[in-house]
Amino acid sequence: MSAVVHVLLSFFLCIALANTDIFDNVLVDMSYDHYAEKRVDQLPAFLAMPFNCLVNVGYIIVGVYWLTRRMKDPVAAYAKDVFALMAITYGPIQWTRLATLRRAPSVLDQWFTLPIFAWVPVWCRAITHGWSARYAVTVEVCSVASYALALLHERGFELALGAHISVAVLQAAAAQRNFGDQVSLRYFIHAALSCAGFVLLKLLDHELAKFWLFQNLTGHFWSKVCDILQFHYSFCFLTHLTQIAHKRTS
């Protein structure tokens, strides 16, 4: 229940702020031209780009799968449940953005990415140094607040996201060095490759659409597939490290 409260409080706070005029000057794309997948006019708005829309179900599936997995340690269970609930809420946000092309969902799509990446260092530190509620709150508050960079510069979000990804990878690598084995290393590599695919395929969406292979299942679609895999392999990596750390300390 505490994980639900944690995620929903942040979720509704961000929704409330995104629906004010605070972010009116943030650079977000609110046009189908931003995506390489062609709109299907015969379909309703929530399926206007069917592949880019339906792929968001993957976030919910991964989130529900990991939410139902049981962990004996209550701290690890809390960390896992928060991460799973983040995945479950993130899919509908992206789908709403595509269905409405409104500013608020577009802002939320960007904004929610940051605390999701920030949760990886929080979980990693819980594995390596033990749980600290103060550290978790500090990291998440700073992460949410970092979206203010989007107000200061048109590429502020990209700067914040790049910093979040870098910190997440570095903290995961440090946790791997301290507690990892060959299994966790494999998960780490898969998560890192999925993260690279998530970034690169999204950036190359229109360029890849020049090739027939990416004209229906576009770069943006495969970027989301990589993002979903990134979630899954991050869960695999972090839960496996948690089990190793628990065995060493018990």
Render pLDDT for 95-126 as a digit per residue (tens, 0 to 9): 999 999 999 999 999 999 999 999 999 999 99
Q: Per-residue confidence at 1, pLDDT binned at 50, 70, 90?
A: low
Q: What pLDDT is recorded for position 249?
A: 66
Render pLDDT for 170-205 as a digit per residue (tens, 0 to 9): 999 999 998 999 999 999 999 999 999 999 999 999
Render pLDDT for 223-242 as a digit per residue (tens, 0 to 9): 999 999 999 999 999 999 99
Q: What pLDDT is recorded for position 6?
A: 72
| C-beta atoms surrounding 142 within 10 Å | 12
Q: Which long-range contacts (CB under 8 A, 24 or more apart) does 76-81 make?
A: 76/126, 76/239, 76/242, 76/246, 78/2, 78/3, 79/119, 79/122, 79/123, 79/126, 79/238, 79/242, 80/235, 80/238, 80/239, 81/3, 81/4
Checking if the pLDDT of 221 tops 80, the result is yes
Question: Can you tell me the mean pLDDT for 76-88?
Answer: 94
Q: What pLDDT is recorded for position 30?
A: 85
- What does pLDDT average to over the chain? 93
Number of domains comprising the chain: 1
CA distance 141 to 147: 11
Containing domain of residue 42, as a range? 2-249
DSSP-based three-state secondary structure for 68: coil
Q: What pLDDT is recorded for position 8?
A: 79
Q: What pLDDT is recorded for position 13?
A: 86
The CATH number given to whatever domain includes residue 205 is 1.20.1070
CA distance 32 to 91: 18
